[in-house]
Amino acid sequence: MGLKVVGTGLGRTGTKSMQTALAMLGFGPCHHMIEVFQHPESMQLWVDAGDGKPDWDAIFRDYGSAVDFPGAAYWRELTSYYPHAKVLHTVRDAHEWFESTRATIFAPDSVVFREGDDLQARFFAALRRRMPSQLDDRATMTDYFRRHTEAVTAAISPQRLLIYRMGEGWEPLCRFLGVPVPAAPFPSENSRAEFLGRALAPQAGAASR
């Protein structure tokens, strides 16, 4: 299929809502971390990507767009591999983002920190190698968050890039993608409370907003 939109925003920047929004606008299916949990066989492809042997065509065969981790960790590779794709960068306040990640995807008991040699553990180990080692340190992570946006802005031409802050609604997104504004409200999904409410489910922590 080939990606038409590459999301470079980190997890917990409204990516689950954006996944739904892009599908509503005709750019779906949209890949998101939740897709990895729903298709665990794809984890090996991501492990291979972490080892420098990516098969992007296989990973995104059935997708028209991608947001969230793990794709955001490979944003340089993906924006290069799909040179005609629009680049969508979701942002929020860096300190609010840190608080959200510490309560959800990077909480001490998160599956992200699972150890072992099984496929899921190797998948998350490959992902962690692309992030700072001090995921619990506010200064480190807020600096990482800001530098990530700076790197994307420096690497991607302004004509190809939209910096989108959740809460801005349909208009800037639809204008950027060249599609009509839907009559339906912009999606609002996977709040921190919703994420934590799933923590008792078998796939706790499967998705990041």
What is the DSSP-derived secondary structure letter of residue 39?
A: S
Angle at 162 between CA 77 and CA 23, to 5 degrees: 80
3-class secondary structure for 128-157?
Answer: HCCCCCCCCCHHHHHHHHHHHHHHHHHHCC
Q: What is the pLDDT of residue 189?
A: 74
Contact between 66 and 31 under an 8 Å Cβ cutoff? The reply is: yes
Query: What residues does each domain of the chain span?
Result: 5-193
Contact between 43 and 51 under an 8 Å Cβ cutoff? The reply is: no
3-state secondary structure of 91: strand
CATH number of the 5-193 domain: 3.40.50.300
State how far the alpha carbon of 17 is from the alpha carbons of 23, 102, 175, in Å: 10, 20, 18
Do you find a cis peptide bond into 108, omega within 30 degrees of 0?
no
pLDDT tens profile 121-143: 999 999 999 999 999 999 999 99
Q: What is the pLDDT of residue 208?
A: 47
Residue 190 has pLDDT above 80, yes or no: no
pLDDT tens profile 41-94: 999 999 999 999 999 999 999 999 999 999 999 999 999 999 999 999 999 999
3-state secondary structure of 74: helix
188: closest CA among 173, 205, 162, 166? 166
Q: What is the pLDDT of residue 48?
A: 98
Please name the residue ranges forming H helices in the chain.
Answer: 15-24, 33-38, 43-50, 56-59, 75-81, 94-103, 119-128, 138-155, 170-177, 192-197
